[in-house]
Structure 1
């Protein structure tokens, strides 16, 4: 059995950086993710006037409950969706003029529901190009708070940004959500906010909507350990399920893990893999069987490409449903998965929110069109275990979340 040390969670690291910046006192983050996304978030905080000291295995952030330390700043969000969505919300709690921009890839990704909500709460926002997209200027005078309705059916990050902002408002915040995708990510947010002293309640409305009420408590600094990234672990779990006789254990992703993407191991169990989760970690072991299935991945859609890349090796069709939001990620992931599977000679059908992959031995050699998306590269690295000759047109885009992925995955491959 191989034990894999997975880097810290991207989602947890981003939330922890926001919370630490907003807290009273100095927070220490243990084992934060070091990647382009998290480094970009940290640099964004520095640009706003927060003190961030980075050591190899710990980052120290001096919180500023009153908001950014500067009254004017330019922040470049790189490719990071959490940076591009969370930092404007953090800046809105302060006082000043803050300009945000991002990479061409991030400029294409929508912000509209979030910026509309921030404007309703009293922030002045101006889009520099297309409405609802970066570049964005936030003119902040603090946030009083109040009640609003939000459609988070496109991205749960809109809701997370507002929830994170809630304790910094003068009167608290009540967000009624009419649609929500990737709900487990919101549960991560709520658990982490409580770790920093926030008070949140959730009520179900008669019309089926849900209201999150956040008290204006502020945050308290703490010492916070970042758990391994469950989405990144999915590639190693899938590889173990694929290879007869293989087994992999990821410590730190056990029964108490925050991340919903660990539920991907349940999908592997349904396909025939042996899965064991304890308080210490999770082990996936191949049984030599991979069954086809139909699965709704609305709540774990970041692992949709992992399953799509594994699917040709199942003994029946694999149909993945309710993943329309993957079309507005770093790329249109549904389309990217379909295109690359077809390049490998695999039969694929797609619809607005689904993809169905029929079994068939992928044919190499072939170059995977990554579209600059780290998850396309890491997913098709699983396919490459059984398909000689696969290459990637942009293998380096894994720096977004796991700069050492290729070395780590190759070392794992040699143990199989």
Structure 2
């Protein structure tokens, strides 16, 4: 097992609350980060003003809004929404990527359309996250990238105002965002883009499907009829107002509450049809022994407090791994989660981090190259480190709902996609 390097625990790690008994809860979630940031990018490229309705306002989306403003786009608050008015991109700019992969990967293809120099950097860990294949692809499409040969942050894009575009081959096995980034910018390139993936299977395919669907809704012609190939035609991006769905991946700890405590949790406004990977929580919880129904009132998850192990390929839904792994550690039979080697390159090496932290609370875990095997074992309290990773914090609070004495280090890292998560979680766990 690889041992993840844990940061020193702070003096006051957060005591994860436990429910007093069975729960009956009703939840409304903030908007989707993935949809919000794609909506902002497409609005910035559109042929007129657009309104992003009920957007997520979290660190990742605020960084995206700030990045587009730094290029020159007018992004203003409008009664809780964002009103986005495209403007020429003509000035030098600095982009803070923070820990947002969407900012680090979606904005550089746009920066080539500026006539200024655009510098990119972010939090220290972001210098370890993969971006090199996409930067190389941008060079092949006519974007000048200066990265000192590192293929990583920090780097600069020297914009020329236009990008030729055309055909490019890329290995996107480390991140589906490489493909989405090129597709989103494609309609603004002179010859559009023809992106071919060559490598191991692309992870998180639903996120590419999300990108393609949103482009088409903006009137952009996209051909994805061939496997591992996406062609975006050049042309205008039609302005439209877009309402943002709830972030279904952020639902994971809340629906898990019903699974570990027993009772029912209802998540309002769950879409009947969606491209969000978090929708797979419905089938996962069913496999683990919960009753799951979807109706006009939302998603209803009813659990008994007893969970069953699963054998699951999570290649397309890797972002759910921390929450699902926590549930597996509480199950009454073994589990095997696989197909997720790529999540080693997420906010942290999630496989190593999960193996380390689950084992630290007593779990019986074997770490594999592409997954985890988890067997039933008695758990106990202790500090659960999060590695500045919001999904790791989700795993910690799920365990804390079932196991006394779990202390979640840096629970505030959840602000990446869910502002004030700790308060919301406490209210729902305690029924306040």
**Structures share a fold, TM > 0.5?**
yes
Q: Secondary structure at the match of 1:120?
A: helix
Check conservation: 1:237, 1:265, Cα contact below 8 A.
no
Following TM superposition, by how much is the alpha carbon of 1:56 offset from its aligned partner in structure 2, in angstroms? 5.3
1:48 equivalenced with 2:67 (yes/no)? no
- Does the 8 Å CA contact 2:186/2:234 hold for their aligned counterparts? yes
TM-score norm. by structure 2 comes to: 0.91
In 1: Cα distance, 2:90 partner to 2:99 partner = 24
Change (3 A) 1:279 1:171: farther
Counterpart among 199, 214, 217 of residue 221 in structure 2: 199
Decide whether aligned partners of structure 1 residues 11 and 288 sit closer, same or farther in structure 2, where only a CA change above 3 A counts: same
Match of 2:244 in 1: 226
Verify the 8 A CA contact 1:254 1:279 in the aligned structure 2.
Answer: no
Q: Which residue does 2:122 correspond to in 1?
A: 102
2:36 is matched with 13
For the pair 1:92 / 2:112, whether they are aligned, the reply is: yes
DSSP-derived class of the 2:281 partner: helix
Equivalent residue for 1:373?
Answer: 389
Where in structure 2 are the equivalents of 1:52-91 lying within 5 Å?
52-55=75-78, 57-64=80-87, 69-91=89-111
1:152–1:177 CA contact under 8 A, matched in 2? yes
Q: State the distance in 2 between where 1:278 and 1:114 align.
A: 41
Deviation larger for 246-255 or 2-11: 246-255
Give the equivalent residue in structure 1 for 2:5.
Answer: none
Inter-partner Cα distance in structure 1 for 2:84 and 2:325: 39
1:355 is displaced (CA, Å) by: 0.3
Please give the per-residue CA displacement for 1:28-76, whole angstroms capped at 9, x wherever unaligned: 0111111111111111111111111024520111024xxx523311111
Match of 2:271 in 1: 254
**Alpha-carbon offset, residue 96 of structure 1:** 2.4
SS, match of residue 383 in structure 2: strand
Q: 2:154 aligns with which of 120, 135, 150?
A: 135
Q: 1:318 aligned to 2:347?
A: no
Match of 2:373 in 1: 356
Contact 2:92 2:117 in 1 (8 A): yes
Partner Cα separation in structure 1 for residue 311 and residue 327 of structure 2: 14
Deviations for 1:311-353, whole angstroms, at most 9, x for unmatched residues? 1221101110010011010001111111111111111101110
Task: Spell out structure 1 runs of 4+ moving beyond 6 A.
Answer: none
- CA drift of 1:196 comes to 1.5
Give the conservation status (yes or no) of the 8 Å contact 1:254–1:278: no
Q: What is the rounded CA distance, in whole Å, between the counterparts of 2:295 and 2:159 in structure 1?
A: 46
Q: Distance in 1 between matches of 2:144 and 2:189?
A: 15
Give the count of matched residue pairs: 406
Unaligned runs of 5+ in 2: 1-23
Secondary structure at the aligned position of 1:106 is classed as: helix
Which of 410, 414, 426 is the aligned partner of 1:394? 410
Residue aligning to 2:210: 188
What do the CA deviations read for 1:83-131 (whole angstroms, capped 9, x no partner)? 1111111111232211111110111111111101100001111115x61
CA positional deviation for 1:288: 4.2
TM-score (norm 1): 0.94
- Do the aligned residues in 2 keep the contact of 1:292 with 1:314 (CA within 8 Å)? yes
Write the distance in 2 (CA, Å) between the matches of 1:264 and 1:38: 23
- The question of 1:161 aligning with 2:219 is answered no
Instruction: Give a deviation string over 1:211-242, Cα, whole Å, max 9, x none.
Output: 21111122111110010001101111112112
> Of the two structures, which has the highest relative contact order with CA contacts closer than 8 Å and spacing of 6 or more?
2
1:119 aligned residue: 139
| Cα distance in 2 between the residues matched to 1:323 and 1:279 | 33
Please say if 1:415 is aligned against 2:406: no
Gap runs ≥5 in structure 1: none
Contact 1:344–1:362 (8 Å) recurs in 2: yes
